[in-house]
Amino acid sequence: MKLNERSVAHYATCDSPADHTGFLRKRVERHHHHAHHYGTSYQRRWFVLKGNLLFYFEERESREPVGLVVLEGCTVELCEAAEEFAFAIRFDDAGARAYVLVADGQATMEAWVKALSRASFDYMRLVVKELEKQLEEACKSLAACRKSPRRSSSSGRKRHLSNPALLPLQEKPAILENGYSTWGIGGSVPGGDHDGGQAKPPPLPPRRRSATGSATGSSAPGLSPAMLQSPVSPDTVCFSKLHDWYGQEIVALRREWQERQKRG
């Protein structure tokens, strides 16, 4: 079976941060057809965990991985090898070999076992779904709080509000007036007084008006009141939809920029 190995190797060595790295000794598997016994030599390798992929290199500075273990569906357990601080990556498949790895101490072994146990895509997906649900619930209860008299809802409450598009549609009128995106780190929202649910959206804070912006990474793209009508479904708090929605803004900005470039 073919694999896009060049791209995979590139992913292994590129800048994107690794989830865990370190030297481990990897047991060399030698199978003898007449006897079910393994050779007991180990090779020291530099291991890099990215997502559900465990790469290993001959040296830390090596430009290409020697190998890859796709971790999806594996279990990680401590093992009774002759070596101390040994653990194994195993797969369900009956005939599958195990990867026996040896750390240099208790702490590093535990850190690796912890990292590898949680490395699967499925696990991440579960956590994200759970957080998505929690955010939705937090939005709902926040909206419910806002319905009650100002005194009780605003005292001590942080004025950092999520994008109004994330909140249930029926709450929209009350939200729009405080409708600021807090995309990006430390995106703080100016409080501002609001008078009931009928006021139209207050003007956006100065830094977000600039469309030439610093729309890189996680900073906030410019928002106009019209864009507060997001296509995000009122029932779901969905990062990917929000991501796409902001993406449209970026696409428009990029097109604008390219046209400007053409005009020279």
Q: Which residues bind other proteins (CB under 8 A)?
A: 1-11, 14, 16-17, 19, 50-53, 64-70, 72-74, 91-93, 96, 115, 118, 120-122, 124-125, 127-128, 130-132, 134-135, 138-139, 142, 158, 160-162, 166, 182, 185, 217-218, 239-240, 243-244
Of 166 and 174, CB closest to other proteins: 166
CB of residue 242 to other proteins, shortest distance in Å: 8
CB of 222 to other proteins, least distance (A): 19
Dihedral class, residue 175 (left if φ above 0, else alpha if ψ from -120 to 50, else beta): alpha
Of 66 and 211, CB closest to other proteins: 66
Report CA Rg, the chain. 26
Residue 85 Ramachandran class (φ > 0 left, ψ -120 to 50 alpha, else beta): left
State the CB neighbour count (10 A cutoff) for residue 52: 20
In the complex, the smallest distance separating the C-beta of residue 234 from other proteins, rounded to whole angstroms, is 17
Q: Which two tokens stand for residue 188?
A: 């703080």
Task: Identify which of residues 23 and 239 has a Cβ nearer to other proteins in the complex.
Answer: 239
- Please report how close the Cβ of residue 217 comes to other proteins at its closest, in angstroms: 4
CB of 32 to other proteins, least distance (A): 20
Cα distance from N-terminal residue to C-terminal residue, the chain? 49
| CA dist list (Å): 28 to 25, 136, 151 | 9, 49, 68
For other proteins, the closer CB: 69 or 228: 69
- Looking at the Cβ atoms of 84 and 144, the one nearer to other proteins is 144
Shorter beta-carbon distance to other proteins: residue 145 or 169: 145
Identify which of 248, 94, 106 has the alpha carbon closest to the alpha carbon of residue 165.
248
* Residue 77: CB minimum distance to other proteins, A: 16
Shortest approach of other proteins to residue 263 CB, angstroms? Answer: 26
How far apart, in whole angstroms, are the C-alpha atoms of residue 218 and residue 63? 30
C-alpha to C-alpha distance for 254 and 257, rounded to whole angstroms: 5
Whichever of 163 and 208 has its CB closer to other proteins, that residue is: 163
Mind giving me the DSSP string for 54-91? EEEESSTT-SS-SEEEE-TTEEEEE---SSTTEEEEEE
